[in-house]
Structure 1
Amino acid sequence: MLVLTNRLSRALWSVAFSSSSTKISSRGVSTFIQSKHCLPNSESRYSSLFASPWSATQLRGAKFRGDDLKPGNVIEKKGRMYQVVKAQHSTQGRGGAIIQVELRDVDSGSKSNERFRTDEPVERVFVAEKSFTYLYTDDETGNIVLMEPETYEQLDVPKHLFGESYVYLQDDMNVNLQLYDGRAMSASIPTRATCTVAESEMPMRASATPQYKKVFLDNGLTVQVPKHIVEGDKIIVNTADHSYMSRA
């Protein structure tokens, strides 16, 4: 695929340059300058292609087996895009092995459960992953506002793309977007986040000294932590399962 893309790139530039060279030889420098104003549409198409090389190699409609589906995959079903949230294998008597999948509609954020046979063909969409910086959450629209770190362009994406992990978003946090043709399909955050203990619950009395207790974090979540953690402490939380990892 890379070789094909390189050949395509050279062919496109060859056409552009051979066209401009003909105009130089036949009409002189002044005509060449005018010809540069006649090329923006074609050049912009080439520039757009080279600025986003992954768009030329992305695949849509690639067939995979249901057995290959994993959380995070994006599939197309009846003309709509879905992200796989959960995937669990099971057997159903004589019906053979199946995979129970929880899907999230990319457009609406609504979730649904589907069953696929492990050998059933599934139309999977390959996405490109790109890093962005979290800026803020728009109170009016509820959208998450991100910034492309190299161009400083801002991008609004629906909050539901982050799922439950949106509560961990913090200023200047690096997040990853999964894009298809420049459109956000899903979003993910780092697996570790630093949070502040807003309120600490006293350990329950018992015959044996409890090792853990519940605390409330500044983002509204409740987690189990060692009993020595107190209000105001900063802790590191696993964003995948909301579990305590260590003191920050």
Structure 2
Amino acid sequence: MAYSMGDLKKGLKIELEGIPYKIVEYQHVKPGKGAAFVRVKMKSFLDGRVLEKTFHAGDKCEEPNLQEHSMQFLYHDGDSFQFMDNETYEQIGLNEVQVGDSAKWIIDGMSISVLFHNGKAISVNVPQSVELKVTETPPNFKGDTTSAGKKPATLETGAVVQVPYHILEGDIIRINTESGEYLDKVK
């Protein structure tokens, strides 16, 4: 299916010159003189680069051949992240660029959605929220009861997030993976 200028919107996945992209910003421009056009910022699934492109009336782009498979994260061997298909037990490796910022939210054994383009794994999608253990955080001091105060906490994946003062080492917390923000304490 081909997309025209009017079909474009934020979050849409498109393919240009054989490369799959996701539209991250969208702006419809209607100048006082001349025809309307759409200016988009799109992020490549293959290398993570962000490009800007202007689409005019009549311009077309294709729908990419993308499939998602549920896979289990096994381990990170220094060069690549190893995943196993939950149905066929086949293993694949993805590099740091393909995994991107998702690396700071995944732990061994976690179920992840891996995105394939024309049968080749290109990126991962982590759940919108994950539960991770706090491995290091400064101690609480008597009087630190303000709910607005925050302190840094290092999670089991190595990610650092801001948490309320009542969170201690060993606590399990829920994190929003899109914004990297603390949501709540699990236990």
Calculate the TM-score normalised by the size of structure 1. 0.62
Give, as a single letter, the amino acid of the residue that structure 1 aligns with 2:52. E
Conserved in 2, the CA contact under 8 Å of 1:144 and 1:156?
yes
Q: 1 or 2, which has the higher helix percentage?
A: 1
Q: 1 or 2, which has the higher strand percentage?
A: 2
- Tell me by how many angstroms 1:145 deviates: 0.7
Conserved in 2, the CA contact under 8 Å of 1:201 and 1:213?
no
Structure 1: stretches of 5+ with no match in the other structure: 1-61
Total equivalences in the alignment = 179
Alignment map for 1:103-182 (pairs within 5 Å): 103-104=43-44, 106=46, 109-117=47-55, 119=57, 120-139=59-78, 142-182=79-119
Distance (Å, rounded) in 2 between the aligned partners of 1:144 and 1:72: 27
Distance (Å, rounded) in 2 between the aligned partners of 1:201 and 1:118: 57
Distance (Å, rounded) in 1 between the aligned partners of 2:83 and 2:163: 32
Distance (Å, rounded) in 2 between the aligned partners of 1:118 and 1:178: 29
Give, as a single letter, the amino acid of the residue that structure 2 aligns with 1:182. G
CA deviations 1:116-173 (Å, max 9, x no partner) are 337432122131211111001121xx22111111221111122322321111111111
> Which residue number in structure 2 is paired with residue 240 of structure 1?
178
Alignment map for 1:17-36 (pairs within 5 Å): none
- Is 1:220 matched with 2:158? yes
Distance (Å, rounded) in 1 between the aligned partners of 2:165 and 2:30: 45
Give me the identity figure in percent. 24
Q: Which has the larger radius of gyration?
A: 1
Distance (Å, rounded) in 2 between the aligned partners of 1:177 and 1:70: 21
Which portions of structure 1, spanning 4 or more consecutive aligned residues, are displaced by more than 6 angstroms?
none
Calculate the TM-score normalised by the size of structure 2. 0.79
Structure 2: stretches of 5+ with no match in the other structure: none
Aligned-residue CA RMSD in angstroms?
2.9
Distance (Å, rounded) in 2 between the aligned partners of 1:99 and 1:201: 49
